[in-house]
Amino acid sequence: MDPDFDTYRLSDEHEALRDAVRALAEKEIAPYAAEVDEVGRYPVEARAALVKAGFHAVTIPEEYGGQGADELAGCIVIEEVARVCASSSLIPGVNGLGLTPILLSASDDLKKQVLPSIAAGEAMISYALSEREAGSDAASMKTRARREGDSWVLNGTKAWITNAGESTWYTVMAVTDPEKKANGISAFVVHSGDPGFEVGPKERKLGIHGSPTREIYLTDCAIPADRMIGAEGTGFKTALQTLDHTRPTIGAQAVGIAQGALDVAISYVKERKQFGRHLAEFQGLQFMIADMAMKVEAARQLVYVATSRAERGEPNLGFISSAAKCLASDTAMSVTTDAVQLLGGAGYTRDFPVERMMRDAKITQIYEGTNQIQRLVMARALLKS
């Protein structure tokens, strides 16, 4: 394993972006976050604000109508939105996940077909890899695609699809040659208007209530042949490459959630008094705050390093990408739990946002590969070297 974690540098543009996204998030997104969670509705205000500001899919290249920002900028956007509302951070987050396979492997013609509508904010894109019986073991998927003339016909059910029903485009993995196992999986772009495409009911979840998670059903869903991403049989390879780039974005979301909880906790202990003293004056609580902040900053640095290495297209990204996602999500769960503890009874109520942040943090340890899978990836990389 290469121990050289190459440094990154936040440019003035990155810092300005952070300031801009934070200001937008606090003004346009935070006021609706509690209600979005409470009633489980899609954060339309957040989407409108992000699209208006151009923060909904910043990594789309300029030639397709996008901002042309680097992946580090994409992480900063997700982090700052997640600081106030994890559900809303899945607007730029899932756009990034869905379009990454297209950026990595699609033909220029397919990019021109799909990316401009996303860049303009007219459409969103989701990612459809998992199935009920093919989650961590994604290569065992059952969804099939068969060639019929100038079309591919897809049949199957995809599960746990974030923002399904809100997205117009879907990056879908399906088996085109069962005999070849993982090398028989291909990637496609499906449109919500394609015949035979349907979405299921919303899942009832612990957290991220404002981001719908649904199954998608493909029943003799015929799509033009030119909507295959890359060559036939390269879909699973593209999926793994995608995760090398997008796992750090889950880390960024986790860092944002943790930072938001830390900010609330610090404000609370500085104001709340017990035994005639502010909570912030008790050394035991000071140590908790210090540990929380240390973990958040360590996770942030690892996420930024992983993202920067992915941006440069370095080889052997598996370890660093999994490490960033794993550390950051474990940190988010730990820090939000401690934030609830620091607020005591108040932290357990919905009058404060830390209980929501604690519930939202949990999913970051699960999606885009559970943290047990991340540890498998890391161990294999270390033992292989």
What is the set of active-site residues?
A: 368
DSSP state of 61: -
158 φ, ψ to 5°? -105, 140
- Extract the tokens encoding 65: 């109508």
> Cα 102 to the chain's mean position, in Å?
16
**Residue whose tokens read 């349907």:** 198
* Burial (CB count <10 Å: 0-12, 13-18, 19+), residue 223: buried
Structure tokens at 282: 């008790």
What is the residue whose two structure tokens read 């035994």? 275
Task: Work out whether strand 169-175 and strand 125-128 pair parallel, antiparallel, or are unpaired.
Answer: parallel
Q: How many whole angstroms from its chain centre is CA 53?
A: 20
Contact by Cβ (8 Å): 174, 156:
yes
At 172, the amino acid letter reads V
Record the tokens describing residue 259, joined without a space: 């930072």
Determine the distance from the C-alpha atom of residue 97 to the mean position of all C-alpha atoms in its chain, rounded to a whole number. Answer: 7
Closest residue by Cα to residue 246 from 367, 144, 157: 367
Measure the CA dihedral 163/217/104/44, to 10°.
-20
